[in-house]
Amino acid sequence: MENRANQFIRAADVALKDPDLQKAVAYGTRLGFNKRIAAMYEYGEEHGEALRQQSAQIKRRALANLPKLLEEAEKNLLKNGFKVLWAKDAAEANQLILEIAQKHESKLAVKSKSMATEEIGVNENLEAAGIEVVETDLGEFIVQLAEERPSHIVVPIVHKTKESIQKTLEEKANMPPTDDPLAMTRFARAYLREKFLKADLGISGANFVIAEAGSIGLVMNEGNGRFVTSLPKVHIALVGIEKIVATLEEYATLTQVLPRSATGQTLTVYTNLINGPKRSQEKDGPEEIYLIFLDNGRSEIYQSTYADSLACIRCGSCLNACPVYDVTGGHAYGWVYPGPIGSVITPLLKGLENAKTLPYACSLCGLCKDVCPVDIDLPHFLLDLRKDVVSTQKGNWIWDLGISGWSWLMRHPKIYRVGGRVAARVLGLLPLKKLPAPFNAWTDHHAFPVFAKRTFAELWTEHQGEKNG
Amino acid sequence: MSLPKRKSPKGKPVSLFVTCMVDMLHPETGISVVKVLEYLGIEVNFPEKQTCCGQPAYNGGYHDEAKEVAKEFLKAFRNAEVIVAPSGSCATMVRVDYLKLFADDPEYLAEAERISSITWEFSEFLVDGLGIENLDGILPKAQSFAFHDSCHGLRMMGIKEAPRKLVGNIENAEILPLESAEECCGFGGLFSIKLPNVSAAITDKKLASIKKNEADWILLGDVSCMTNMNTALEKQGEPKRVRHFADILAESISNSGAKRGENPDGE
């Protein structure tokens, strides 16, 4: 999909003035944040932290052995009857998916929630070839009807109020007027049920690929995922290569941490382990399952100093914790992945020059690292990306100049001292209410910070005199 | 916290790292720190060549410039045995980020590690370093205080209880809770200039909990967050203000009579 990450500031300013978005996002993120704490620390803080560190280690081990585990996974998936394909980028993945759909003469694809398919724009690609694609996760379904994009990794419609959801369903799906959330859900369920029964292709992502078992793990809360992966005769799962874990035991640990972090649940309503297509003695299930491993820039990240960002299990807890996301919502981030993790991986996947604002969309509060179930040092990565912006000269010459001047001053203590004294006196005399650019925006929201009449260095000298006198 | 264990700072003179923001905007807070330390019988010196730790450049992505400024800091504090700063954020820069900044610089790394290991945030120094939780301070009348936890001090240095203990042990002082105490005030240094509207929206949320808080004063340990919140409150015509806890400590000991004269090395 189109990347507008460099328009973050403008898009954020629009979001700041959207009262519905402000209300909805603040409510949703706060709820997610608090529920995560309750679930993670269900057995005490120590236990929750241990679980977090255990998960971090599982993903680090998997990353350390990634090439080997991918080979092992392929071998075991093939043994289980999966067809395994590899896509180096979005175009290749889309081509593979289209070829599979055309081979099976698919007309209607049903999809369960998947960020990887968002990343490559599966829907647009299939629709262009005349294949209907229906999102079946309730949130994704509403987003699709509204012709929007998901604004959160786990809660795609966190930016929408009940009223706007009602409006979308009435206008785009002819829902009989109702403001009862339960009635709206029932309507969507009936609407989607028909699609499931007609669909000839199911498309999903995967939360985990378990190498030793040759299985894929899918966690979800709506029954839609089961339909998508079992009703249509063909199932395609698109999976980022970093989603691998070595063992079922490790998968078991991660299925505890992911829902706790994402939605504050100890376990999702559906925790699926898919072990292959329909066996001859089985009554239902897809006849064929294609598992497509997606690279799309990941192996480049793997070889960089940002490899740790591939440990992400897409729980969205960093979004819920982030004070910036809380006021801007997810669309402002301009591409598929919003929030702190988005600010790290968007520049890495789409090119720094195409997302150079995102590393700065952060007050460096550090909370995202604390809530991350796999302990990714997101603030540190954002600082490193800022360094990359500056060192690859993708910054701003005014800032370059300003920082050079500042640095010079700070390296000349005598001039700094005298300058401080002069500034203290001069600025005290000026009736300054507004500062010149680029500081003017500061004075839009703040009184001009009053410099003290005398610096500490002066007070110190006086204090020494008092002591000795 | 993965910071290495360090030697006790007891019995050593303190070199005050006053921070550039205290120097220019709130010098009285620096004097408060000096008064508390001298009250405890600690020898305080002020290395005059200090300017800034380099954090603004570091956070802006200007690591080369930050490093040049940081080298000056290392030089200014060359003779320091213990460094104390009235800021969790500036202390974090020296204690944590210098190790990253100089990681690939064999010429300066050893000194950066030494300086990092002797740098303390003010409340951390008193409580964790010296084991002092009670300054025997007195306030003339009963006052209540609530704490905002500044992000860097809280999450990078683990500072949470130390300032609460020190203020809570003052006679006539009561500590009240602050809703969302650990939420960012929206400042973020250059962030507030690069993304002023986003920053201000975050600040507004923080101020909402501060405005309705019942405590007489909201206290914190960083004048950067304090300046952000106070100037926003002033712009909005709100009378409420946020203060540095060091000023309350200094006020309380000025009421408690003579110097405590505690020998901090315990001999």
B59: contact with A, CB 8 A cutoff: yes
Q: What percent of chain A has pLDDT over 90?
A: 86
Q: What domains does chain A contain, in order, with CATH numbers?
A: 58-300 (3.40.50.10420), 397-468 (no CATH)
pLDDT at A429 over 70: no
Residue B223 is encoded by which pair of tokens? 């004048």
pLDDT at A430 over 70: no
Substitution target in B39, B87, B184, B206 with the highest count of A β-carbons within 10 Å is: B184
pTM of this prediction?
Answer: 0.95
- Condensed to tens digits (0 to 9), the pLDDT of residues B3-56 reads 777 889 999 999 999 999 999 999 999 999 999 999 999 999 999 999 999 999
pLDDT at A262 over 60: yes
Q: How far apart are CA A119 and CA A2, in angstroms?
A: 10
Tell me the ipTM for this assembly: 0.94
Give B-chain residues touching A454 at CB under 8 angstroms: 27
| Nearest residue in chain B measured CA to CA from A420 | B24
**A210 or A399, which is more confident:** A210
Residue B146, beta-bridge partner list: B176, B218
Whose CA is closest to A328, among A349, A343, A309? A343
pLDDT given for residue A451 in this prediction: 82
B22: contact with A, CB 8 A cutoff: yes
Looking at residues A174-197, what average pLDDT do you find?
96
Q: How far apart are CA B37 and CA A459, in angstroms?
A: 16
- DSSP label at residue B82: E
CB contacts < 8 A, A to B, total 188
Q: Where are the beta strands (DSSP E) in A81-233?
A: 83-87, 108-111, 132-135, 201-204, 208-210, 215-220
Query: How does residue A28 score in pLDDT terms, banded at 50, 70 and 90?
Result: very high
Substitution target in A18, A34, A364 with the highest count of B β-carbons within 10 Å is: A364
B196: contact with A, CB 8 A cutoff: yes
Give A-chain residues touching B160 at CB under 8 angstroms: none
Whose CA is closest to B166, among B83, B249, B45? B249
pLDDT at B267 over 50: no
Residue found by looking up tokens 């998936």 in the block: A77
Least confident of A198-207, A439-448, B51-60, B198-207: A439-448
Whole-number Cα distances in Å, A209 to A202, A205, A213, A244, B81: 18, 10, 9, 5, 53
| Beta-carbon separation of B72 and A410 below 8 A | yes
pLDDT at B266 over 50: no
Q: How far apart are CA A340 and CA A321, in angstroms?
A: 9
Give me chain A's average pLDDT, please: 94
- Condensed to tens digits (0 to 9), the pLDDT of residues B201-223 reads 999 999 999 999 999 999 999 99
Nearest-CA distance from B234 to chain A in Å?
Answer: 6
Nearest-CA distance from B188 to chain A in Å?
Answer: 4
Tell me the domain boundaries of chain B.
Answer: 14-129, 138-254
Nearest-10 Cα torsion for B245, B250, B254, B257: 90
- Condensed to tens digits (0 to 9), the pLDDT of residues A341-391 reads 999 999 999 999 999 999 999 999 999 999 999 999 999 999 999 999 999
| Beta-carbon separation of A327 and B231 below 8 A | no
Q: How far apart are CA A445 and CA B199, in angstroms?
A: 9
Nearest-CA distance from A72 to chain B in Å?
Answer: 35
Give A-chain residues touching B34 at CB under 8 angstroms: 460, 463
Give B-chain residues touching A445 at CB under 8 angstroms: 196-197, 199-200, 203, 232, 235
- Name every residue whose Cβ is closer than 8 Å to that of residue B42 and which is 6 or more positions away in sequence: B13, B14, B264
pLDDT given for residue B261 in this prediction: 59
pLDDT at A434 over 80: no
Amino acid at the residue A43: Y
Looking at residues A43-59, what average pLDDT do you find?
97
pLDDT given for residue A424 in this prediction: 74
| Nearest residue in chain B measured CA to CA from A356 | B61
| Nearest Cβ partner for A407 among B27, B68, B235 | B68
| Nearest residue in chain B measured CA to CA from A379 | B59
Give B-chain residues touching A322 at CB under 8 angstroms: none
Neighbours of B115 (CB within 10 A): 24
Chain B 115-144, CB below 8 Å of chain A: which residues?
A: none
Burial of B109 (0-12, 13-18, 19+ CB in 10 A): middle
| Nearest residue in chain A measured CA to CA from B19 | A456
- HSE on the CB side for A298, CA within 13 Å? 24
Whose CA is closest to A113, among A86, A92, A141, A148? A141
Give A-chain residues touching B220 at CB under 8 angstroms: none
pLDDT at A425 over 80: no
Looking at residues A442-454, what average pLDDT do you find?
84
Residue A255 is encoded by which pair of tokens? 């299925």
pLDDT given for residue B1 in this prediction: 47
For domain B138-254, give the fold.
Rossmann fold (3.40.50)
Nearest-CA distance from A58 to chain B in Å?
Answer: 20
